[in-house]
Structure 1
Amino acid sequence: MRFYDNLYVGDKAAGKINKILKAIKDKKIVYDVYLITTADNPLDNLDIYQANTFIQKHFENKDLLVIGVAKGKGESRELLAKIIKDCYDETGDYKLRDFFISKM
């Protein structure tokens, strides 16, 4: 798992972002934290995962790019909408996965 350099962070997560990121990297349980990542399936754009999902062994070798961190499902959806808008405003299309991978 890699983190986007200009990580999108929801307002509720912003105050604890360093603590949240450390817990995720250390594979510790975090409460109500969601990650917006490049999709595991290359035909899709982005996925939203509950952060604790990445504790599972299945995800150890997945090369996903974390684009956003949010506290709560609602905030994750709001953050995703912002990400989509920003991508469209900059590129004129919705190829989110390609957009973020090209920036790494």
Structure 2
Amino acid sequence: MKFYRRLYVGPSIRNVNKIKWKLLTGRGQLGIYLISLSRTSDQLDIFHCALLKQKYFDKKALQVVGIAEGREEAIFLVQQMLQDT
């Protein structure tokens, strides 16, 4: 899993480094959503961090560009990304 250098973080996220560490070590977290680059097209994926527990998910190829608490906040971050570009 790779994190974008200029990671977009939701306003309700307090300790980003702690969340990153928990994601890398496989710890469970409630309410944390990730925004990543899609592997199939030029879009972004929004998903709950619990999906990382599935064997199907390839964590090594995952490129995270945003972390949010809740789906609504994740959608807000995607809108902010679009405005920045």
The alignment's TM-score, normalised by the length of structure 2, stands at: 0.90
Q: Which has the higher strand share?
A: 2
Instruction: Mark the runs of 5 or more structure 2 residues left unpaired by the alignment.
Output: none
Identity across the alignment (%): 34
Query: Cα 1:30–1:2, aligned 2, differ >3 Å: closer, same or farther?
Result: same
User: Between Structure 1 and Structure 2, how many residues are aligned?
Assistant: 85
In structure 2, give the amino acid aligned to 1:31.
Answer: L
Query: Structure 2 matches for 1:54-65, cutoff 5 A?
Result: 54-60=52-58, 63-65=61-63
What is the RMSD of the two structures over their aligned residues, measured on CA atoms? 1.3
Runs of 4+ in structure 1 off by over 6 angstroms are: none
- Partner residue in 2 for 1:40: 39
The AA in structure 2 aligned to 1:40 is R
Paired residues of 1:28 and 1:55 also in contact (CA < 8 A): no
Match of 1:8 in 2: 8
CA positional deviation for 1:64: 2.1
Higher relative contact order (CA 8 A, sep 6+): 2
* Greater Cα radius of gyration, structure 1 or 2: 1
Cα deviation for residue 16 of structure 1 reads: 2.2
Structure 1: runs of 5+ lacking an equivalent = 88-104
- Look up the equivalent residue of 1:25 and give its one-letter code: L
